[in-house]
Amino acid sequence: MALKIKIGNAVRGKEEFFERKEILKSLKDKVYSNSHILISAPRRVGKTSLMFYLKDNPYEHYTVIYVITQSVYNENDFFKILYEETAKEVYSKGKQKFKNAYKWLSDQMVKLNIKVAGNEFNLEKGNKNIVFLEEFKTLINQVKTDTKLVIMVDEFAQTIENIKKQEGTKDAMRFLQVNRELRQLAVLDKNIIFVYAGSIGLENVVSGLDCINLINDLDNLSVEPLSMNQGKLFINELIENQYFNMSDSVIEYTLKKIKWLIPFYIQLVINEVIQLCSIDEIEEVTNKVINEAMEKILKYRNYFEHWHSRLKDAFTSEDKYNFALDILNKISIDNKINRNEIVDLALKYSFEKSYMDTINSLEYDGYISFYRNNYIFNSPILRMWWCRNVSR
């Protein structure tokens, strides 16, 4: 079946989601083992799409809830969102799945100022006296008697960063501790599973707070780039209904040029190939067409600017931002940077003892990787764009 090209946003449904059996099996095994899960992968690899897949295709006897907490800046608002979304699920499917929880929830309507319209469930914004952590604990205690629940939290690490910026390091650490304690309660019941993901690395954020022990109960699910064979299948599904032909050798050439085989970059190139073939009435894609497509996408700033803007968000101090920028600029120009060169740059900013924190963040976020004693850009496409548009 042909896949629709969808660039930049999470995909959903059989017409958009490229099923990777080994990752789906690993996810299912971890859920069935009652593990709390951390989906670990650089940006644009497909973490949110994987969460949507689980939401749309829940396992038998499981109910799946998806929340995104990117805009949350305090603990109470975080648990308010979890409470509200769980309550919506209970209210909308109460008679089929949540008989016990539905009855209990109905008794809470007045207490929590719950307004219901059809199947919509909303809490009054003005009610600031409720401690939603405690309400959420009580709610899931009711739910566990009805069904097994998987609660997926997207942008969890960003939430920690937000709390740290707005309320301070101690509150961010307390937030992590509270979530760990909550997971321990859920483990005892074996009916509630938390799945975390996000566009910044949870391990790096927590390591910066010096409390990595607060997430060591999470089972890591790593989402890697596509293999060469998977990349070939992916391209064939993307071009299945196109009128042009793309030989196996050209597909292989394309994948080798892209190198970092994540769906985002593959779709960028194939989308441009489709446009070129349509405009020039090309019936047979050649290596020359691929080169032209890759050159054209470098002109579209909106495809890549988020990598630059994300750097400003990740490194809030001017020195840390400039240090990271110097590293990426040098790699973009020279194709690589070795450890000695990094140390020289670190001395410039007095980061000789902590420079690896920056390197680890750049690695997790998908900018760079260590290869043959040097750090290089993961994506040659991003390296070329960076060299032309950012390097100074």
All residues at 6 or more sequence positions from 51 whose CB lies less than 8 Å from its CB, including other chains: 10, 39, 66, 152, 154, 195, 197
Q: Angle, to 10 degrees, between the axis of helix 380-389 and the axis of helix 318-334? A: 110
Higher pLDDT, 75 or 208: 75
Structure tokens at 370: 């260590």
Across the chain, the runs of DSSP E, i.e. the strands, are: 37-40, 62-68, 114-117, 120-123, 148-154, 192-197, 219-222, 368-371, 374-377
Residue 378 CB neighbour total at 10 angstroms:
21
Structure tokens at 317: 């101090």
Mean pLDDT of 12-17: 76
pLDDT higher than threshold 80 for residue 284: yes
| Rounded-to-integer distance, Cα 27 and Cα 7, Å | 24
| CA pseudo-torsion sign 350, 353, 354, 358 | positive
Higher pLDDT, 310 or 25: 25
pLDDT of residue 118: 58
Question: pLDDT tens digits, residue range 234-257?
Answer: 999 999 989 899 999 999 999 999
CB 261 within 8 A of CB 226: yes
According to DSSP, the residues that pair with 370 across neighbouring strands are 375
Range in 95-104, 169-178, 257-266 with the lowest mean pLDDT: 95-104
**pTM for this model (two decimals):** 0.88
Instruction: Name the residue among 208, 182, 184, 226 with its Cα closest to residue 46.
Output: 226
**Residues constituting the chain:** 392
CB 380 within 8 A of CB 258: yes
pLDDT tier for residue 5 given thresholds of 50, 70 and 90: confident
Question: Which amino acid belongs to residue 57?
Answer: N
- 207 phi and psi angles, rounded to 5 deg: -60, -35
Q: Is 132 strand, coil or helix?
A: helix
Q: How would you classify the pairing of strands 368-371 and 374-377?
A: antiparallel
| Rounded-to-integer distance, Cα 270 and Cα 265, Å | 9
Range with the largest mean pLDDT of 16-30, 80-94, 138-152: 16-30
pLDDT of residue 121: 63
pLDDT tier for residue 185 given thresholds of 50, 70 and 90: confident
Higher pLDDT, 283 or 92: 283
pLDDT of residue 384: 96
Question: pLDDT tens digits, residue range 107-119?
Answer: 776 666 666 665 5
Structure tokens at 305: 């600017």
Structure tokens at 244: 């042009």
